[in-house]
Chains A and B, each alone.
Chain A
Amino acid sequence: MTGAGTWSLGESDHQRITEQLSGLLRESSARCALLVDRTGQLLASAGEQLRFDSAAFASLTAADFSANDQLAKMIGEPEFASLFHQGEKESMYLADVGRRVILVVLFDERTTVGLVRLRVKQAVHDLAKVFEELFARYASGAPDQRRPLLEGAEDEIDKLFGD
C-alpha cells in the first residue's frame, strides 16, 4: 500500500446505517448518534438536529479515540473499545466499530449510561457487519463496484482550479 486509498459510501449503505442509528436511539432514549471514520470524517448521523459544527466534532472524535488508543497501548491494553465522557447535563459514549469507524452517542438525563452502553453493544455488533460487508465488496473488487467517480474528469478538475 502506498497511500491511504479511497472508499465510498453508497446511498443504500447510508440508509441501512441511518436506520440502525435510529433504532439505537429509540431503544436507548439517547439524543443523537453519529458515525465517524477513523480519519475524522462524519459518515452519518441520526436523531436531534446537531447544534454544533459536525465536521469539527468528527475530527475531534477521531483524535480523541486515536489518543486513547495510544494510551491503552502504553498500559498494556490493545485498545479501549469504548470511552465515556460525563458532563453535568450532557454526556457522550463512544464505541469502536470493527476498527474502522467510531459510534458516538450523545445523551442527557432522560436515560442512563447503563442503558446506553447496553444498546450500543448490540448496535456495534450490527454496524460492524454492515462495514465488514461494505469493505469486503471493495477488497474483492466485486463487479458491481462503481467505476471511479472522477474517471475522465481531468478537464473539470483543471477548470476548478483555474487552469
Chain B
Amino acid sequence: MSMINYASREINCKLVYYGPGLGGKTTNLEHVYTKVSPDTRGKMVSLATETERTLFFDFLPVDLGTVRGFKTRFHLYTVPGQVYYNASRKLILKGVDGVVFVADSQIERMEANIESMQNLYDNMAQYGYDLTKIPFVVQYNKRDLPNAAPIKDLQHALNPGWPLDNPAKQRLVVDPYHPGDYLIHEVDGTWIERAPYFESVAVSGEGVFDTLKAIAKIVLKTLS
C-alpha cells in the first residue's frame, strides 16, 4: 500500500521479490545494496538462518529519485523461498505495491518455479489482490549457467499471460525491453497481456537494476 507522506515529502512503496528457494532474491538485494550510494539507501536487514537461508525476510529501503518534489522511497523485501515457510512468506505480501518474481532458469528448477508462482497467486488472492492487475515483472535469473532453460520455455511455463477483458486496454503494446515481443497482443481472437520479463545474473549484477527500475516505474505510473 503506497503511502504519500506530505510532512516528510516522501512517497513510500513496497516491492516484494518472490520466487523459489535459492533462486537469487537475496542476491538481487545484496547487489542493489553494494551498488547504490549509502546516501540513498538504508540499512539492509536480513532475518536469515545460520546457513544464510532467508527465514523471514530481507529488507532494504532505497531512494530512487524525486518526482514532483517528493522523494520516491522503495522498500524492497524478499520472502523465504523454501516451501516450508509459507506462513511468514504470506505476511510479507501484506500491502505490496509491486512484485518481482525471481525465477531460477535452471531446467531442474522448473517445477519449483511453477510451484512458487502458483503459491504467489494463491497468497495474493488471500489478501484480495489480483496479480494480473498490480505491477508485476518476472526476472529469469542465472542466465549464465549451462543448464539454463530457453527463455521461450520459461515464458511458456511461468508467464503465459492472462486474458485481457477490458476493451479500453485491448491494443497492441510492444515490449519495450524486447523488440519483437508484445506485452499485449491478440492471439486467436483473444487479447492476452503478459508481465514484462528480464534476464539476469544476479551474482554479477547483470539485469538487477533493469528489473528494479522497471517495477519501480510501473508502480509510480499506477499512482499517476
User: Which residues in A have some Cβ–Cβ distance to B below 8 Å?
Assistant: 1-11, 14-15, 37-41, 43-44, 53, 55-56, 59-60, 63, 66-67, 70, 148-154, 156-158, 160-163
Contact = CB atoms under 8 A, between A and B. Distances in A.
Interface in B65-101: 65-68, 70, 72, 75, 77, 87-88, 91-92, 94-97
B205 interface: no
| A9, A11, A15, A59 pick with most chain B CB within 10 angstroms | A59
A67 B223 contact: no
Interface string B1-29: 11111110001101000000000000000
Nearest to A54: B42
B56 interface: yes
18 contacts: A2-B130, A4-B127, A6-B223, A8-B3, A14-B6, A39-B94, A39-B95, A40-B95, A41-B3, A60-B59, A63-B92, A66-B91, A70-B91, A148-B223, A150-B68, A150-B220, A157-B67, A163-B217
Contacts of A70: 87, 91
Q: Mostly helix, strand, loop or mixed at chain B's interface?
A: mixed
Interface residues of B, number: 49
Interface of B: 1-7, 11-12, 14, 42-43, 45, 47, 56-57, 59, 61, 64-68, 70, 72, 75, 77, 87-88, 91-92, 94-97, 127-130, 133-134, 213, 216-217, 220-224
Given A2-B130, A41-B12, A160 B67 contact: yes
B217 A157 contact: yes
A9 B59 CA distance: 23
A18 to B, nearest CB: 8
B103 to A, nearest CB: 22
Given A4-B129, A40-B14, A66-B94, A9 B6 contact: yes
A114 B94 CA distance: 32
Nearest to B2: A6
A152 B224 contact: yes
A4 B13 CA distance: 10
